[in-house]
């Protein structure tokens, strides 16, 4: 298949997650010629052992609970292909009887990832497959043939037998495949691509279908998505922090040096970068007005009336300041939209600790994936050149490398981590729309002067539904082993289910983050515009106009009136002296990108298309890319 994605050389020892992703997206593969000599050495060794009539599992014996059945030179029951030996029939039957998965087919990227992983492990030269069979599998991949692999049917030991059989059956000219976007019989796909079916030799069926390629492929693809989503989660959290005019000191570098979990340190640093240059975070309490509903009398100029909202503060009377004189010497005695407290709620303040813990879970999973990518996972294992070997059992070893538990537990960890990341995001979304917790933003982020508007109310419902669904799916499959093969395989990993679940869950995780960003953008526009409206009013120089926005003010003639106006003047001067308030530069760039397609919502409108579009922008990485502005 012609490709612009380059070619990946496979040697069985150096495959990376990035290379798997490249092949999944269309890159071709080539086989390392030096390593192929080791592949052929193992195949020749196996051929010699068969010629000596040595009993070898899966070669001259049956499989699983049939391992005690020794194969003879001739069939007991008449029939079968007279041109096919009993040993060849064993390998063919293994594939055709094991290709029994059900459900919707895996996407092409998953299947291509499975193929490159399987080819790479066979390149190690411990499986007994012939070079020509391995080349045929690489040719199938490079030709763009995508075997139809239904998603459900593997228990994760002995490896992914059933799904890998769906890969292999197309090599034999059976099964089904997609070729040039069309689903067709596997033999027809081979014919159209100019390829010939393969006749399997000793152990080749077992080499092709006995391994962890499905769970590993889904794990690699899921890890890549989650890595992007973690950066997106930091971006969503930073946007929400700007919308809250939140507090930054909880993310200081010296703070996290005291508890240096790697993921936590990384997320804290990411937040500092994303919020770099923000004049909203750490703003003084008294400068932040709260939302008030717009009325015809709210503003005096046409430009002000166009704002669609009013602003206000409460004045703290002199007789309520006793014992707090030092505080009010530092901060003006006005209560607006930012609470007089030194810390934000957990969903804001603990972003590094929560996002960072998920980062560390991903790092652990990636460590496992990296080992597995260059591991040999079939059975039995061949050691044709083992020094000191005295008998066949030293060189042909039945072991358990097909068991998927290392991957299964790593994926279980991610399954538990994904709802954690989604949950804290949904809590931030809820905090933004709830007037009891939004620090002075309008209820559901809409003006609602006439009581007819719902704004972003139901966006949070959708996020809540997604989080609940993710939590329901997070239960580990790996704790439920169901024995198979008449109890010969009496403990299995269920790692294939774990990997498939994690890959699917990443999509909904991205949607939760998209809903937060959609909501936070609306909130951030309100917060920025409200503070800048106060600044513009202050710059007009009319103390009485600013005083009119303050509730609880002493009436004209009151002995406290002069003190009140003096304090309003100090507030006015501080606002007037400030530059225009802005979010962090990366957050601002993301807001601009979002606003190119989804405008601020001044009044209720249909939101379904917008929700779909913001999900696309998040899942495609477009919003994350927009955040990568140079400082």
Which residues are tagged catalytic? 57
Q: CA 287, 290, 291, 297: dihedral to nearest 10 degrees?
A: -70
DSSP 77-121: SS-S-TTS-HHHHHHHHHHHHH---EEEEPPHHHHHHHHHHHHHH
Q: Which contiguous run of DSSP H or E holds residue 9?
A: strand 7-10
Whether the CB-CB separation of 512 and 418 falls below 8 Å is answered with no
Q: Which of 374, 476, 408 is nearest to 157 (CA)?
A: 408
Sign of CA dihedral 616, 621, 624, 629: negative
Q: Which of 51, 20, 82, 427 is nearest to 236 (CA)?
A: 427
Query: In Å, what is the CA distance from 530 to each residue of 63, 302, 627?
Result: 72, 16, 24
Q: Which of 546, 554, 544, 540 is nearest to 571 (CA)?
A: 546
Q: Which contiguous run of DSSP H or E holds residue 314?
A: strand 310-315
Q: Which two tokens stand for residue 325?
A: 């004189």
Whether the CB-CB separation of 501 and 411 falls below 8 Å is answered with yes
Q: How many CA atoms lie within 13 A of 606 on its CB side?
A: 4
Query: In Å, what is the CA distance from 461 to each residue of 71, 113, 509, 605, 606?
Result: 62, 36, 15, 17, 16
Long-range contacts of 475-482 (CB under 8 A, 24+ apart): 475/415, 476/412, 476/415, 476/416, 477/408, 477/412, 477/501, 478/405, 478/408, 478/409, 478/411, 478/412, 479/412, 482/155
The DSSP call for residue 73 is S
């Amino acid at each position: 298949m012609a490709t612009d994605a380059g070619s990946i050389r496979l040697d069985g020892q150096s495959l990376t997650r990035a290379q798997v992703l490249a092949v999944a997206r269309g890159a071709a593969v080539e086989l390392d010629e030096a390593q192929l000599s080791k592949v052929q050495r193992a195949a020749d060794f196996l051929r010699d052992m068969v010629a000596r009539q040595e009993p070898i599992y899966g070669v001259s014996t049956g499989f699983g609970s049939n391992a005690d059945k020794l194969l003879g030179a001739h069939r007991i029951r008449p029939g079968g292909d007279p041109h096919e030996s009993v040993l060849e029939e064993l390998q063919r039957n293994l594939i055709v009887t094991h290709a029994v998965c059900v459900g919707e087919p895996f996407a092409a990227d998953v299947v291509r990832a499975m193929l490159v992983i399987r080819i790479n492990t066979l390149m190690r030269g411990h499986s007994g497959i012939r070079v020509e069979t391995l080349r045929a599998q690489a040719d199938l991949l490079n030709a763009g043939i995508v075997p139809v692999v239904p998603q459900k049917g593997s228990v994760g030991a002995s490896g992914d037998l059933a799904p890998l059989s769906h890969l292999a059956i197309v090599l034999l000219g059976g099964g089904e495949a997609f070729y040039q976007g069309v689903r067709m019989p596997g033999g027809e796909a081979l014919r159209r691509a100019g390829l010939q079916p393969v006749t399997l030799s000793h152990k080749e069926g077992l080499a092709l279908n006995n391994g962890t390629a499905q769970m590993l492929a889904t794990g690699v693809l899921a890890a890549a998505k989650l890595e992007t989503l973690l950066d997106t989660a930091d971006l969503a959290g930073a946007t929400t922090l700007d919308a809250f005019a939140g507090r930054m000191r909880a993310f200081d570098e010296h703070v996290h040096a005291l508890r240096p979990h790697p993921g936590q340190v990384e997320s804290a640093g990411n937040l500092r970068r994303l919020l770099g240059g923000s004049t909203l975070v750490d703003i003084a309490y008294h400068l932040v007005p709260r939302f008030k509903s717009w009325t015809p009398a709210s503003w005096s100029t046409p430009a002000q009336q166009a704002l669609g909202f009013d602003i206000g503060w409460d004045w703290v009377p002199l007789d309520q300041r006793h014992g707090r004189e030092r505080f009010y010497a530092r901060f003006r005695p006005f209560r607006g939209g930012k609470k007089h407290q030194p810390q934000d709620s957990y969903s804001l303040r603990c972003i590094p600790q929560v996002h960072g813990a998920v980062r560390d879970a991903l790092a652990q999973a990636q460590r496992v994936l990296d080992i597995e990518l260059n591991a040999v996972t079939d059975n039995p294992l061949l050691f044709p050149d083992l020094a000191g070997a005295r008998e066949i059992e030293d060189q042909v070893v039945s072991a358990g490398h097909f068991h998927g538990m290392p991957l299964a537990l790593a994926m279980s960890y991610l399954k538990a981590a994904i709802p954690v990341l989604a949950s804290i995001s949904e809590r931030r979304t809820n905090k933004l729309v709830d007037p009891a917790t939004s620090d002075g933003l309008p209820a559901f982020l809409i003006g609602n002067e006439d009581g007819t508007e719902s704004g972003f109310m139901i966006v949070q419902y959708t996020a809540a539904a997604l989080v609940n669904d993710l939590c329901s799916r997070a239960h580990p499959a790996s704790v439920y082993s169901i024995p198979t093969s008449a109890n010969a395989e009496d403990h299995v990993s269920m790692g294939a289910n774990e990997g498939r679940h994690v890959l699917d869950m990443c999509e909904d995780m991205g949607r939760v983050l998209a809903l937060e960003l959609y909501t936070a953008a609306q909130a951030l526009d309100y917060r920025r515009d409200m503070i800048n409206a106060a600044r513009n009013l202050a710059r007009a120089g009319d103390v009485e106009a600013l005083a009119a926005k303050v509730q609880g003010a002493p009436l004209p003639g009151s002995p406290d009136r002069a003190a009140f106006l003096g304090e309003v003047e100090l507030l006015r001067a501080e606002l007037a002296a400030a530059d225009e308030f802005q979010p962090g530069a990366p957050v601002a760039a993301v807001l601009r990108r979002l606003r190119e397609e989804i405008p601020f919502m001044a009044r209720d409108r249909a939101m379904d298309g917008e929700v779909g579009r913001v999900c696309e922008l998040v899942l495609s990485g477009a919003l994350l890319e927009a955040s990568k502005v140079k400082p």
